[in-house]
Amino acid sequence: MKKPKIWNNKHLLGLKKLSADELTCIFDTAENYVKYAGGTGQKTDDLKGKLVVNLFFEDSTRTRSSFAIAASRLGADVIELTAKASSLSKGETLRDTARNLEAMGIDMVVIRHSAGGAPYLLSQNIEASILNAGDGYHEHPTQALLDIFTIRQLRGSLEGLKVAIVGDIAHSRVARSNIWALNTLGAKVFVVGPPTLMPSAVNKLPVTVCHDFDSIISEMDVFNMLRVQSERIKSQVFPSTREYSRIFGLTNNRMKRAKKDVIVMHPGPINRGVEIDSDVADGPNSTILKQVTNGVAIRMAVMALCDSVK
Amino acid sequence: MTNILIKNGRIIDPANKVDMIGDLLIENGKIKAVGKIKDATADTIIDAKDKIIAPGLIDLHVHLREPGREEEETIASGSAAAVTGGFTSVACMPNTDPAIDNEATVEFILNRSAAAKMANVFPVGAITKERKGESLAEMGQMVRAGAVAFTDDGSGVQDPSVMLRAFQYAKMFNKVVMQHCQDDCLAGNGCMNAGYYATILGLPGMSPLAEEIMLYRDVQLAKAAGARYHAQHLSTAGSVDIVRQAKAQGLPVTAEATPHHLLLTEKECETYDTNFKMNPPLRTQADLEALRQGVADGTIDCLATDHAPHLKSAKELEFPAAPFGIVGLDCALGLYAKALIESGTIDWPLLIKLMTINPAKILTIDKGTLSEGADADITIIDPNYKWKVDTTKFISKSQNCPYNDWQLTAKPVITIVGGQIKFQL
């Protein structure tokens, strides 16, 4: 792919520093790839001959396969590396892993890691493009891009839309990436959840903090329901899933008070009956499966764009 | 034994309230005379014009890593780095492997430092066996062997009943108990200050409360035991207030501050550079200013580097996985001058007091003065010397240091330990 004038990022590490024009460039590029994403059997050769490494230090099913599918639809070869023992638990250091990959002549690394900043560290030690597939609580740029791309498809523009991100904001990289890009594009972001699931400096983020979901339910254009992680319950940041669901779950009852055309999103995998009722997840307002399809298009777009900067 | 005459310097000796231009004569390892010295003969004559003649600098908080982690630092390399930085005495922390929690390890350290013949090394013993925070270490045996204070530094003693007993027991020997204030439940797996930057960087944060709650608890325990207490490396405005209030009540509570907490803030972590990962973590600008104010008004009694050598390969890990700490001995004086003198916070006499007699009093060691008859531990400082930090030139075995390429003013030019010149620029 020929490098668009506006795009000069070899790596995609996060969305905080991307401009509205750069985000729009990704969406416009993704628009062209949607036709390859849905399973028509078509492929492009935009990344033909390129070698992409999927380097996952954390478990992942959908993000990992989405990147693999995106790479293959672009004609690239994909190597899957699962590094169960990250340097956090001894073994080879990330820097050494990077040098080894470099020696094998790879073009692009898709990395997921439990440590915030790990993709940045990798980018400092390797010539290949680095795509962040989620690092600690820091960023998960492609997830937010596919969320926003989905909203854009349905509404045309993000300007002035009210988006509620509901759940564990403190430990969510999806929330952070969404907060940055949604603000850049002119949306108004509400973060909803108990104070124990808010980051320490949430008041310094460009968001409205809300602990009473019902008070804002009727004015939202989008609900992005984050997954409740079971390990959070063990650390006792809230008393029980039952209570969480009662206060912050997107239930059938709450949906009755929401806007008729409200968009219901979830990054998956869903805990049915916890953060979202089954009927709502499968209902007419849900874009959950559309998000998954769009994920492939978005990942094709960022791979092609980052590869064009060489 | 030789004698040395240092001439025409600005003699600053806070313990004796001396600040004058004069000469100093060293004979047989002791200070023979201070003042205008005429007709003295000496084997070595040092012209100290435009220089400061100070008691040898003391750092009561360093990690020399030996025994156990000699690839990072040894007593020989660390005490050599100390004299390069103008320090004639250092107190080494017990988080070695094995820990300094018994008489034999104290003796080992003293033997190694005697063999190294650089700075004086004063071992600090552990409060509890293996620094586990459970049962008291053999403080009495360690005192007899030469331990000067007690701490489980690296971690705080979590159980208040253990800490209370430590205060009661250490009081018997008139030794200070020092604490790395950190409530582990509140600190969790935090790797930087809990705040804006931890939030945007997606790193687990460590709340100021983790430090302040243990500090406040310890002040109450020390008060109950009537024992001396020293709070290590204060990092928050709240901690400065707690110590200030303790002092206002007349409690024998002292505190230290590090160069990094007086110069750097959490913002530095923005690039995930692990040379900015320390414990306690870098905090906010408001905390930094409160610490400087605490130094100016006497709340903070002394300055300490918390010199913490680590291998390059360990510091190259991901931010949460990399170890806490930076080295500081080689360049500390220039950093203190930048943080405290160039900023107009304090003057040279007070800076020297915070680096000499004050830490000596806390450790109850007979150091830190230019009194006649005292050990000839002397640091000659050029307060106007401009230089650039080059970590590759450090004498310390490790280079984990965020100040590379910093322009500093002020440097020790001669360090004399026991009447012997150990470092000369």
Residues A279 and A301 in one domain: no
DSSP E strands in B69-191: the ranges are: 87-92, 120-125, 149-150, 176-179
Pick A88's closest partner by Cβ from B194, B316, B321. Answer: B321
pLDDT at A94: 86
Residues A156 and A246 in one domain: yes
What phi, psi does B218 have (nearest 5°)? -65, -40
Number of domains observed in the structure of chain A: 2
| Whether the predicted pLDDT of B393 surpasses 70 | yes
Q: Is B314 in CB contact (< 8 Å) with chain A?
A: no
Choose the weakest-confidence range: A56-70, A145-159, A230-244, B319-333.
A230-244
| pLDDT, tens digit, 9 for 90 and up, residues B221-267 | 999 999 999 999 999 999 999 999 999 999 999 999 999 999 999 99
- For residue A16, the chain B residue with the least C-alpha distance is B200
Q: Is B284 in CB contact (< 8 Å) with chain A?
A: no
Residues B319/A115, Cβ–Cβ less than 8 Å: yes
Q: Residues B288-312: what's their mean pLDDT? A: 98
Dihedral angle computed from the Cα positions of residues A151, B198, B399 and A121, in that order, rounded to the nearest 10 degrees: -10
| Whether the predicted pLDDT of B413 surpasses 80 | yes
DSSP E strands in B65-166: the ranges are: 87-92, 120-125, 149-150
Question: Same fold for the domain at B4-52+375-424 and the one at B63-363?
Answer: no
- For residue B194, the chain A residue with the least C-alpha distance is A200
Contact A93 B316 (CB under 8 A): yes
Residues A89 and A153 in one domain: no
Look at residue B88 and give its three-state secondary structure: strand
Residues A121 and A256 in one domain: no
pLDDT-derived band at B73, boundaries 50, 70, 90: very high
Residues A102 and A133 in one domain: yes
Ranges of each domain in chain B = 4-52+375-424, 63-363
Neighbours of A156 (CB within 10 A): 8
Rounded Cα–Cα distance for residues A201 and A308 (Å): 37
B271 CB neighbours in chain A (<8 A) are 120
Question: Which of A67, A62, A125 lies closest to A93 in space, CA to CA?
Answer: A125
Interface of B with A in 206-225 (CB under 8 A): 207
Contact A204 B196 (CB under 8 A): yes
Residues B83/B423, Cβ–Cβ less than 8 Å: yes
Rounded Cα–Cα distance for residues B210 and B235 (Å): 11
pLDDT at A86: 47
B272 CB neighbours in chain A (<8 A) are 116-117, 120-121
Residues A249 and A151 in one domain: yes
Task: Report, in this order, helix, strand and coil percent for chain B, each rounded to 5.
Answer: 35, 25, 40
Q: Is B62 in CB contact (< 8 Å) with chain A?
A: no
Residues A282 and A153 in one domain: yes
pLDDT at A90: 56
Pick B202's closest partner by Cβ from A88, A94, A135. Answer: A135
Residues A92 and A155 in one domain: no
Which residue has better confidence, A172 or A40? A172
Q: Is A87 in CB contact (< 8 Å) with chain B?
A: yes
Contact B320 A199 (CB under 8 A): no
Choose the weakest-confidence range: A104-108, B122-126, B141-145, B264-268.
A104-108
Q: Residues B354-365: what's their mean pLDDT? A: 98
The nearest CA of chain B is from the CA of A231 a distance in Å of 15
Tokens of B318: 């991901």
Residues of B acting as catalytic residues:
306
Dihedral angle computed from the Cα positions of residues A68, A71, A74 and A75, in that order, rounded to the nearest 10 degrees: -90
Amino acid at B257: A
pLDDT-derived band at A296, boundaries 50, 70, 90: very high
The nearest CA of chain B is from the CA of A18 a distance in Å of 15
Dihedral angle computed from the Cα positions of residues B134, B137, B140 and B145, in that order, rounded to the nearest 10 degrees: -160
B63-363, CATH topology level:
TIM Barrel (3.20.20)
Alpha-helical regions (H) of chain A: 20-37, 62-73, 94-103, 118-123, 141-155, 173-184, 213-216, 230-234, 241-248, 252-257, 278-281, 288-308
Q: Is A60 exposed, middle or buried (0-12, 13-18, 19+ CB in 10 A)?
A: middle
Q: Is A139 in CB contact (< 8 Å) with chain B?
A: yes
Q: Is B316 in CB contact (< 8 Å) with chain A?
A: yes
Residues A135 and A190 in one domain: no
In which domain, by residue range, is A185 found? 141-288
pLDDT at B150: 98
The nearest CA of chain A is from the CA of B285 a distance in Å of 15
Average pLDDT for chain B: 97
**Best of A57, A121, A197 to mutate (most B CBs within 10 Å, chain B):** A121
| Cα dihedral across residues A157, A163, A168, A170: positive or negative | positive
Rounded Cα–Cα distance for residues A255 and A264 (Å): 10
pLDDT-derived band at B38, boundaries 50, 70, 90: confident
Q: Is B201 in CB contact (< 8 Å) with chain A?
A: yes
pLDDT at B110: 98
> What's the full length of chain B, in residues?
425
Dihedral angle computed from the Cα positions of residues B227, B232, B235 and B240, in that order, rounded to the nearest 10 degrees: 30
Report the percent of chain B where pLDDT is more than 70. Answer: 100
- For residue A91, the chain B residue with the least C-alpha distance is B317
Tokens of B386: 């401009």
Neighbours of B271 (CB within 10 A): 14
| pLDDT, tens digit, 9 for 90 and up, residues A42-78 | 889 999 999 999 999 988 889 999 999 999 999 999 9
Q: How far is CA B137 from CA A78, A103, B229, in A?
A: 57, 52, 17
Contact B318 A95 (CB under 8 A): no
A55 CB neighbours in chain B (<8 A) are none
Residues A153 and A50 in one domain: no
Report the percent of chain B where pLDDT is more than 90. Answer: 98
> pTM of the predicted model, to two decimals?
0.94
B200 CB neighbours in chain A (<8 A) are 16, 176, 201, 205
| Whether the predicted pLDDT of B168 surpasses 70 | yes
Look at residue B260 and give its three-state secondary structure: helix
Residues A170 and A68 in one domain: no
Tokens of B175: 């030794």
CATH number given to B4-52+375-424: 2.30.40.10
* Tokens 């639809």 sit on residue: A73
Residue A104 sits in a domain whose CATH number is 3.40.50.1370
Alpha-helical regions (H) of B283-368: 285-296, 312-315, 332-336, 348-355, 357-363
Residues A96 and A122 in one domain: yes
pLDDT at A87: 46
**Best of B206, B266, B317, B318 to mutate (most A CBs within 10 Å, chain A):** B318
| Cα dihedral across residues B230, B235, B236, B237: positive or negative | positive
Contact B195 A115 (CB under 8 A): no
- For residue B272, the chain A residue with the least C-alpha distance is A117
| pLDDT, tens digit, 9 for 90 and up, residues B263-294 | 999 999 999 999 999 999 999 999 999 999 99
> What's the full length of chain A, in residues?
310
Q: Is A95 in CB contact (< 8 Å) with chain B?
A: yes
Q: Residues B153-157: what's their mean pLDDT? A: 95
End-to-end CA distance of chain A: 11
Secondary structure element (H or E) that encloses residue B388, with its range: strand B378-388
